[in-house]
A and B are shown apart, each in its own frame.
Chain A
Amino acid sequence: MSLYYPIPQPTIATNILVRRERRLPVPGEVMVKAGQRVEPTDVIAQSMLTSEPVRIDIAADLDMSPQATAKRLQVSTGARVEQGSVLAQRAGTGSRASRSPVAGTFTGYDQATGTGVIAIAPEPVSVRAHLKGIVADLIPYYGAILETPATLVRGIFGIGGEQHGVLKVAVPSGDEPLTPGVIDARVAYAIVLGGSEVSADALRRMIELGARGLITGSIRSSELANFLGFARAGEWRMGAATAENGGWDFPPSNPGVTSPVPPDFVLIITEGFGSAPMSARTFETIAAYDGQEIAIDGTTRLRGGLARPEIIIPLARTTSVRWLEEKGPKLEVGTNVRLLSSAYLGQVAQVTGLPVGPRASQSGVIAPVADVLLSGGRRLRVPVVDIEVLE
């Protein structure tokens, strides 16, 4: 089992039964029935989000008495107001205005206190299936649990949230970089499978052409920073942000800068930073489903609610699916592993020995190690924490 994933499943798992909970943040109406087949865009449950009315001290804003303020109101009760629109104004020398901090309906002005109230219209909220599958269980008032036979692949980090679309394989192998030149109009509405690294220009080109997402092996931190609108890599502070993510969303948001990335575009990196190839096993597993509808989720959180990206490929027809073992595959002599350290990122090797007890690895650091044979014939002794067992 890998050390970095919130679900005890291997990073690549074929023909398994994937169960996912789809849940509203507030109670509402569940729109599906148990046993029903659902498509990614089907609404599972929906509700309305109401907000507290906002009270504005208009008299204080104008620095006038409540009575005098009443004469200077520019909106009538029941009027629709936009965020920033003027509610009342005092003209002349020392002119002042009171503006609405939110969009809503002006429901009245209280002459005793000098305050106005704006009711915010309830917003509809819904949760969609995201996956093609079957409703296995209902969660009354909140949603449902979906099941689908699928192949599941995990990434190490990503940007964006949930997305689905048809898989489009853009490169012939996992060690091919994805350049703007190979991206054409066929990526529209698709989730693209790249190989090794990708540049910010290539990502922008994909967005221009309407791609919904990209799965690729690696990206240089400078290219990602450029893509996300940071001046340079090396500005990513972590551990202090909103309580919602505990400050550990990765990469962190760029404070004060509106992200140039559309919110519905999803990027998933399977190996890490740099220009590493996508491990052959990962590439081949995903590429086999070229042209099929897949679901991806780029959410990445390193601490305080661990989350890593996932790629779910629902299987159109399958004869046998299985539940995954709790602990995933074991590290044994003969198993295939992928290497995780920067120097060998994306390479696949076979375990040839598991020395007993801690030993000196290549760097001299003493740790539990494995001897591995790389595909090129090179032998290495690597710390066990730097490898990941492939299924």
Chain B
Amino acid sequence: MSNDQSKKQDKAASAESAATIATVGAILAVDIGSLYTRATLFDVVGGEYRFIARASSPTTAEAPYSDVTSGVYNALRDLEQITGRKLTDENRLLMPQRRDNSGLDLFIATSSAAPALLIVVAAVSSDISEVSAMQAAQSTYTQVVSRITLDEGVKAIPNEDDALLSTSATAWLQEQMDKLLALPPDVVLIAGGLEGGPVAPLVRLAKVVSGAAREQIRRAEQAARVNKVAPGLPAVIFAGNSAALQDVAESVQPVAEVRQAANLRPELNVEQTGPAEEVLANLYRERRLPQIPGYAVLSRWVERPVVPTAESERLIARYLHAHYGRETLIADVGATSTSLFLANGEREQALVRGDIGLAYGLGNLVAERGFNNIVRWLPFEVSEDELMDWVYNKVIRPLSLPQTARDLAIEHALAREALSTANASLQAYNAGRPLRYDLLIGTGGLLAHTPRPGQAALMLLDALQPSAEGLGSVELAVDTTLLIPPLGNLARHHLAAAAYIFDRDCLVWLGTAIVVHGDGPPAGSDNRTAVSVTVERQPGGTDTVEIPYGSIQIIPLRPDQRASLTVKPAPGFRVGSGEPGKALKTQAGQEVKGGLVGLIIDARGRPLHFPAERDTRYLLARRWWSAFDAIPTGESFQSGPFAPPEAPQHFTGEQQVAAASDDNAPTVPPADNT
């Protein structure tokens, strides 16, 4: 290994200087998630970098392995079987690549397997500095365990001297310290104060932190005496009024490390979260990634440090905006975390909920969103008991896959709610305005492996409810080969190779969605036509379709087709940033793209309206699902009174058995859903 290692380093050094495609051949990129480890092979084919194959295997961070490199080897062995190439030699990687194509030239890794950083946001005001601080706090894998704001109950204190004498202020101080000690955080992010403003409030926040840290030290000493591990001391990120830095550091530094970032809100109307996000990302890399079991070995194998998966995904969103001018949103719903990455003309943002996901993060999702918010997405009845039992069975057996149609629908409902929760936060950080993007990409095991493309498309539209402000349309795609994390990482080493592979091998296009906005929610029996759409396919015929308000329809448009559209909203309805009732027509050269689903006309209005009456809601959801051919193959949703009157054949169990025994080879990779 050491010989190969030095060769690898030599090669890396020469690659740095030459930076040409020809210097590096086979590239192995692994992404170690909390549930699955995915290994992806890229190589030069016919003078071009291409995606060769991908294999996945359960992550082996826990006992009995307690070493993620075992999972990497398992995935590599599968990759060797799939490609017929030799990549390992007994227990080591074959590096560099040989003439017979065996071996690898570059090995890089991303990971989201480390636990989230527990973070406390301490801000001066809940309406300004806390919002900015929360945005920075949720830019990587974190779990916000508590929030402290000075305007909570101590607003009446006129100045700091009074605060010291005030019993209520002392009680508040104690209460906040107790909050910190109850869930000892890894990081405390202190924010607040405009540049040139008062420093006293920030010092008061620092006192809470230092008081709690002192107590934490005492507890840690006690725990150490009985060979127990106590939480480490938090690192403090100070991203408030820079004039308070010295006082804050004096208060906190004797007991905890202080890192400075530029003020999140230097002026009332200026927000800069980037520097604090960078400091937080560094803390995650320094404190959390090395905690991945087997990290020491893994980091010796890889060319450069292991990169958090979210950083790679964020880079791809940034690339799509910078290179193609596409306002992009990438959505990733995983086992432990749910993330959104936005890059548009206004800003570039990441929203990572490190505590919400579809396996380990399911308990937190349900606790936060509750039963009613989840079942609103389902076209059949599920009792609270059934849903909770389902959820906790998934939590205790996180690798399990949906067995029945009902299981699949429940899992998809949970995915919708996870994405919707992340979307609401991201929107809140954009002053509550709808997010601007015209390209929506789904990634992560669940979205990549939905049995039908319509299921992925409808899930993205339901959960994220793109408003398609601007042009009025949004293109939908899924990363079925899960190349976004490895390509984001590869871009750090070989940007040209990553860009080339991304453009050719990454996305599967689902179609284009035209979003129609109405005036208020659609009524129960709303038959008003919302929009009339004329589609001129190239190649293909022309259709004109009228879409009633409250519905969603698909107009066939294959992946190889494009179409010119004439969209005529009815009075009171609008598309994009057009005036209500104003017709829009695609310009020459701007024809819309087809896809596996087709052209989607979403005239359901924004936000989506869910009828209060249960049967009406089921019927509505069934219509949406039917329109997208999204009703899962399998058993009946419900054998009772809510079985659909127009149930298609694939609702029956017999049909499912026939499908199950169909021996046609699959055309998509196997599911490793989260």
Interface residues of A (CB under 8 A from B): 3-8, 25-26, 49-52, 125, 156-157, 220-222, 233-244, 246-248, 250, 252, 255, 272-274, 300, 302-306, 339-345, 355, 357-368, 371, 379-383, 385-386
Q: Roughly how many angstroms separate A114 CA and B520 CA in the complex, as a whole number?
A: 69
Within the complex, the shortest CB–CB distance from B431 to chain A, in Å, comes to 29
Once A52-B221, A365-B408, A383-B401 are accepted as A-B contacts, the answer to whether A239 and B385 lie under 8 Å apart by CB is: no
Contact check, B666 vs A366: say whether CB atoms are below 8 A apart. yes
Cα distance A246–B673 when bound, in Å?
A: 24
Give the segment of B248-256, B296-304, B358-366 that binds chain A: B358-366
In the bound complex, CA of A385 to CA of B231 (Å): 35
Within 8 Å CB of B156, what residues of A? none
Tell whether, in the assembled complex, residue A239 and residue B388 are in contact, meaning their CB atoms are under 8 Å apart: no
Give every chain B residue within 8 A of A239 (Cβ-Cβ): 115-116, 143, 336, 355, 360-361, 364
Q: List 24 interface pairs A-B (beta carbons < 8 Å), by A numbering.
A: A3-B397, A156-B396, A220-B385, A222-B385, A233-B388, A234-B366, A234-B370, A234-B371, A234-B384, A239-B336, A241-B183, A273-B390, A274-B386, A302-B396, A340-B400, A342-B393, A357-B666, A358-B671, A359-B660, A363-B403, A364-B632, A381-B660, A383-B671, A385-B400
Contacts of A355 in B (CB 8 A): 663
B407–A244 CB distance below 8 A: no
B635 on the interface (CB 8 Å rule)?
yes
Chain A to chain B: the 6 pairs with minimum beta-carbon distance, closest first: A364-B451, A358-B670, A341-B403, A6-B63, A381-B660, A273-B389
- Asked if A234 and B390 make an inter-chain contact with CB atoms under 8 angstroms apart, the answer reads no
CB distance B388 to A383 under 8 Å?
Answer: no
Q: Which residues of B contact A222 (CB under 8 A)?
A: 384-385, 388
The answer, yes or no, to whether B669 is at the interface (CB within 8 Å) is yes
* C-alpha spacing A7/B390, complex, angstroms: 26
B221 to chain A, nearest CB (A): 7
- List the A side residues contacting B145 at CB < 8 Å: 240
Contact of A363 among B227, B386, B396, B405 (CB under 8 A): B405
For A256, give the chain B residue with the smallest CB separation.
B182
Q: In the complex, what's the smallest C-beta–C-beta distance from A47 to chain B, in angstroms?
A: 10
Do residues B64 and A365 form an inter-chain contact, with CB atoms below 8 A?
no
Assembled-state Cα–Cα distance A376/B266 (Å):
70
Among A221, A306, A343, A367, the residue within 8 A (CB) of B63 is: A306
B-side contacts of A52, CB under 8 Å: 221-222, 225
A interface footprint on B375-388 (CB within 8 Å = 1, 0 otherwise):
00000000011101
Residues of chain B within 8 A (CB-CB) of A357 are 665-666
Cα separation A241 to B659 with both chains bound (whole Å): 46
Given contacts A243-B184, A362-B656, contact A303 B396 (CB under 8 A): no
Contact between chains at A386 and B225 (CB < 8 Å): no
The answer to whether A342 and B389 have CB atoms under 8 Å apart is: yes
Q: Does B425 contact A (CB under 8 A)?
A: no
Q: Which residues of A contact B668 (CB under 8 A)?
A: 366
Closest residue to B61 on the A side, CB-wise?
Answer: A303
- Set of chain B residues within 8 Å of A306, measured between Cβ atoms: 62-63
Contact A240 B143 (CB under 8 A): yes
Q: Which B437-487 residues have a C-beta within 8 angstroms of A?
A: 449, 451-452
A345, B404: Cα distance in complex, Å: 12
Nearest CB on A from B653, distance (A): 9
Q: Is B402 an interface residue (CB 8 A)?
A: yes
Interface centre among B115, B227, B397, B633 (most CB of A within 10 A): B397
B588 close to A (CB within 8 Å): no
User: A234-B371, A365-B408 are known contacts. Are A250 and B395 too (CB-CB below 8 A)?
Assistant: yes
B161 at the interface (CB under 8 A from A): no
CB distance from A303 to the nearest CB of B (A): 6
CB closest residue in chain A, given B336: A239
CA distance A4 to B395 in the complex (A): 11
Q: In the complex, what residues of A have CB within 8 A of residue B225's CB?
A: 26, 49-52
Cα(A265)–Cα(B221), bound, Å: 31
Residues on A with C-beta less than 8 A from B633 are: 360, 363-364
Residues of B200-232 whose CB lies within 8 A of A: 221-222, 225-232
Whole-angstrom CA separation of A157 from B393 in the bound complex: 10
Are B62 and A6 in touch, CB under 8 angstroms?
yes
| B634 contacts A by Cβ under 8 Å | yes
CB pair B385 A364 closer than 8 Å: no
Contacts of B360 in A (CB 8 A): 238-239, 248, 302-303
Flag whether B406 is at the interface (Cβ < 8 A): yes
Q: Supply 16 further A-B pairs (C-beta < 8 A) apart from A235-B367, A303-B360, A366-B671.
A: A6-B63, A8-B64, A52-B225, A222-B388, A233-B385, A234-B370, A234-B391, A241-B183, A243-B229, A306-B63, A341-B402, A360-B659, A362-B634, A363-B407, A367-B401, A386-B400
In the bound assembly, the distance between CA atoms of A234 and B364 in angstroms comes to 8
Contact A157/B222 with A222-B385, A239-B355, A360-B666 known, Cβ cut-off 8 Å: no
| Contact of A359 with B403 at beta-carbon distance under 8 Å, contacts A234-B388, A303-B115 already known | no
Restricting to B54-82, which residues have a CB under 8 Å from any CB of A?
A: 58, 61-64
Check B396–A272 contact: CB distance below 8 A: yes
> A222 vs B396: C-alpha distance in the bound complex, in angstroms?
16
Q: How far apart are the CA atoms of A273 and B633 in the complex, in Å?
A: 25
Which residues of B, 617-643, contact A by the 8 Å Cβ criterion?
632-635
**Complex Cα distance A219/B61, Å?**
29
Bound complex: CA A362 to CA B385 (Å): 24
For the complex, what is the distance from the CA of A360 to the CA of B632, rounded to whole Å? 12
Which residue, of B366, B395, B662, B669, has the highest number of chain A Cβ atoms within 10 A? B395
A residues near B172, Cβ cutoff 8 Å = none
How distant is the Cα of A247 from the Cα of B390 in the complex, in angstroms?
Answer: 21
Known: A49-B226, A234-B367, A239-B360. A366 touches B388 (CB 8 A): no
Q: Is B414 an interface residue (CB 8 A)?
A: no
B118 proximal to A (CB < 8 A):
yes
A3 touches B58 (CB 8 A): yes
In the bound complex, residues from chain B placing their C-beta under 8 Å from that of A237 are: 355, 363-364, 367
Confirm or deny: B295 has a beta carbon within 8 angstroms of a beta carbon on chain A.
Answer: no
CA of A367 to CA of B405, assembled, Å: 15
Q: Is B21 in contact with chain A by the CB < 8 A criterion?
A: no
Contact among A4, A6, A244 for B397, CB-based, below 8 A: A4
Complex Cα spacing A221 to B366, Å:
13
**Is the CB–CB distance between B451 and A236 below 8 Å?**
no
A residues less than 8 Å from B355 (CB atoms): 237, 239-240
CB atoms of A360 and B143 under 8 A apart: no
Closest chain-A Cβ to B372's Cβ sits at a distance in Å of 11
Q: In the bound complex, how far is the Cα of B229 from the Cα of A25, in angstroms?
A: 11
Q: Name the A residues within 8 Å of B396 (CB-CB).
A: 4, 156-157, 250, 272-273, 300, 302
Measured CA separation A6–B65 after assembly (Å): 8
A7 x B384 contact (CB < 8 A): no
B64 x A7 contact (CB < 8 A):
yes
Q: Which of A244, A272, A304, A382 makes the CB contact (< 8 A) with B115?
A: A304
Residues of A contacting B635 with CB < 8 Å? Answer: 362
- Which of B183, B226, B371 is close to A26, meaning CB atoms less than 8 Å apart? B226
The answer, yes or no, to whether B159 is at the interface (CB within 8 Å) is no
Partner of B403, one of A255, A272, A361: A361
Residue of A nearest to B227 (CB): A25
Do residues A343 and B384 form an inter-chain contact, with CB atoms below 8 A?
A: no
- Least CB distance from A113 to B in Å reads 17
